[in-house]
Amino acid sequence: MKIGIVCYPTYGGSGVIATELGLALARNGHQVHFITYKRPARLGSFNTNVFYHEVSSLSYPLFEYSPYETALASKLVDVVQHEQLDLLHVHYAIPHAAVAFMAKNILSAKGYTIPVVTTLHGTDITLVGSDRSFSPVVEFSINNSDGVTAVSQHLKEETIQKFDIKTDIEVIYNFLDFNRFQKSNKEHFKKAIAPEGEKILIHTSNFRKVKRVDDVIKVFEIVRKEIPSKLLLIGDGPERAHLEALCREIGLCDDIRFLGKQDAVEELLSVGDLFILPSSNESFGLAALEAMACEVPVISTNVGGLPEVNIPGETGFTCDLGDINQMAQHSLEILNNIDLHQKMKSNALKRAQKFAIEKILPVYESYYEKIIEKVRTNASPISL
Ligand code: GMT
């Protein structure tokens, strides 16, 4: 197949999934065209089956806001037509699903049919998408995609609850590549981070409010009183300055390290004893899955799709939102019990293996085939 992929090319989970999916499809012999405003972070070096089309939008003094949607739609029309694509897969509904709808209609007027699959990732539904300023467009463009997937059962249900959905939503879980995400021997890292054999707690995210990184620090503060430990905060984002101030305020700067954005997260996860994800909203929690693949048990909230990934009592624990004490007690329970810790490490790995790319890729491929066939037989005419 010739597949066009539209996503946010930055560090967010949706862009990571879109890029890794495209690369896996390319390895499986498909021709993949990424259409984004910047080269996706994980695209890497030259690959015969991978093409990159940059969307650049014209700046003009009249435009206070550059009309990115128009530029993207025009680029989609151009790429689909000239590369003779079989399917467009857009990740994150806003604005990609609406833009794809526009491109599809322009192409249709030129006599070209292009099936569109939209993948809902989370905040495009839960936080941003359901805001009145976006919701009519989000609802319309979901209903008018030829195929719609959600990254967890919970996200599917929340989408149905928040919008008037008239189309089927297929749950296709996030995935990861075990060639990259696996525990490796990084003893020298461990020695540098925790020279006295302290336990290592880890959190990775984009440091937005929804991730509640404050809670990570507060949980760590309690844990550290009982067990010598260190906290690694990986990633960056709008909350960072505030979090650094919090660490200074509680006097834990020597035990908490801000590592910023890291390319080889798996190497750091390899020395982790526990992963903390106290998000207020999380459609799936790819970061937790990455930790589990590196044999790190997870303490997370029980919100969104997190319990579909982190199985309470098996791969870690899920706790009520904001319940710092519960999270800290569960952390101590694991860290103080070698047998339980070992069991949860191996359970985490086993659970993560269910989301291996080799298992999820064929699901996407057959979904694409189904949607192409559906459009070919004209089973889903666009309802304007
Ligand atoms: O929250 C993020 O890390 C970024 C965000 C995105 O869309 O880029 O992530 C969402 O999509 C990921 C991939 O499908 C999911 O694993 C995350 O759970 C989801 N984030 C939220 O729902 C808050």
Distance from the alpha carbon of residue 286 to the mean position of ligand 1, in angstroms: 7
Query: What is the model's pLDDT at position 11?
Result: 67
Q: What is the share, in percent, of the chain residues with pLDDT greater than 90?
A: 90
| Residue having the nearest C-alpha atom to atom 21 of ligand 1 | 282
Question: How large is the average pLDDT for residues 223-250?
Answer: 97
- Check whether residue 146 and residue 33 sit in a common domain: yes
Does residue 227 have a pLDDT over 80? yes
Q: Which residue has the higher pLDDT, 377 or 345?
A: 345
- Check whether residue 246 and residue 263 sit in a common domain: yes
The tokens for 163 are: 């919008």
Residue 324's pLDDT band (cuts 50, 70, 90) = very high
Q: Is residue 182 part of a domain?
A: no
Q: How many domains does the chain have?
A: 2
Residue 235 Cβ < 6 Å to ligand 1 = no
Query: What is the model's pLDDT at position 90?
Result: 98
Q: Is residue 20 part of a domain?
A: yes
* Chain segment 144-183, per-residue pLDDT in tens: 999 999 999 999 999 999 999 999 999 999 999 999 999 9
Query: What is the model's pLDDT at position 127?
Result: 85
- Check whether residue 218 and residue 98 sit in a common domain: no
Question: How large is the average pLDDT for residues 189-208?
Answer: 96
Question: How large is the average pLDDT for residues 266-281?
Answer: 97
Does residue 381 have a pLDDT over 70? no
- For 322: left if phi > 0, alpha if psi spans -120 to 50, otherwise beta; the answer is left
- Check whether residue 142 and residue 165 sit in a common domain: yes
Distance from the alpha carbon of residue 331 to the mean position of ligand 1, in angstroms: 24
The tokens for 244 are: 């650094």
Question: How large is the average pLDDT for residues 304-321?
Answer: 98
Residue 122 Cβ < 6 Å to ligand 1 = yes
SS3 label, residue 23: helix
- Check whether residue 171 and residue 191 sit in a common domain: no
Q: Is residue 181 part of a domain?
A: no
Closest atom of ligand 1 to CA, residue 92: 7
Q: Is residue 305 part of a domain?
A: yes
How far apart are alpha carbons 38 and 12 in whole angstroms?
A: 13
DSSP label of 310: S
- Check whether residue 25 and residue 111 sit in a common domain: yes
Question: How large is the average pLDDT for residues 194-217?
Answer: 97
Closest atom of ligand 1 to CA, residue 12: 8
Query: What is the model's pLDDT at position 58?
Result: 84
Does residue 380 have a pLDDT over 60? no
Residues spanned by the domain of 298: 187-353
Query: What is the model's pLDDT at position 116?
Result: 98
- Check whether residue 151 and residue 51 sit in a common domain: yes
| Residue having the nearest C-alpha atom to atom 20 of ligand 1 | 282
Residue 123 Cβ < 6 Å to ligand 1 = yes
Q: Is residue 338 part of a domain?
A: yes
Q: Where are the beta strands (DSSP E) in the chain?
A: 2-6, 31-36, 50-54, 87-91, 116-120, 147-150, 169-171, 199-205, 229-235, 256-260, 274-277, 298-301, 316-319
- Check whether residue 191 and residue 230 sit in a common domain: yes
Residue 278's pLDDT band (cuts 50, 70, 90) = very high
- Check whether residue 122 and residue 214 sit in a common domain: no
Does residue 379 have a pLDDT over 60? no
Residue 360 Cβ < 6 Å to ligand 1 = no
Question: How large is the average pLDDT for residues 49-75?
Answer: 93
* Chain segment 119-154, per-residue pLDDT in tens: 999 999 998 888 899 999 999 999 999 999 999 999
Q: Is residue 332 part of a domain?
A: yes
Residue 64's pLDDT band (cuts 50, 70, 90) = confident
- Check whether residue 20 and residue 156 sit in a common domain: yes
Question: How large is the average pLDDT for residues 300-314?
Answer: 98
Query: What CATH number does residue 292 fall under?
Result: 3.40.50.2000
Residue 92 Cβ < 6 Å to ligand 1 = yes
- Check whether residue 193 and residue 333 sit in a common domain: yes
CB-count burial class (<10 Å; 0-12, 13-18, 19+) for 352: buried
Q: Is residue 383 part of a domain?
A: no
Distance from the alpha carbon of residue 376 to the mean position of ligand 1, in angstroms: 32
- Check whether residue 367 and residue 276 sit in a common domain: no
Query: What is the model's pLDDT at position 286?
Result: 97
* Chain segment 240-257, per-residue pLDDT in tens: 999 999 999 999 999 999
Q: Is residue 362 part of a domain?
A: yes
- Tell me what the pLDDT averaged over the chain comes to: 95
Q: What is the share, in percent, of the chain residues with pLDDT greater than 70?
A: 98
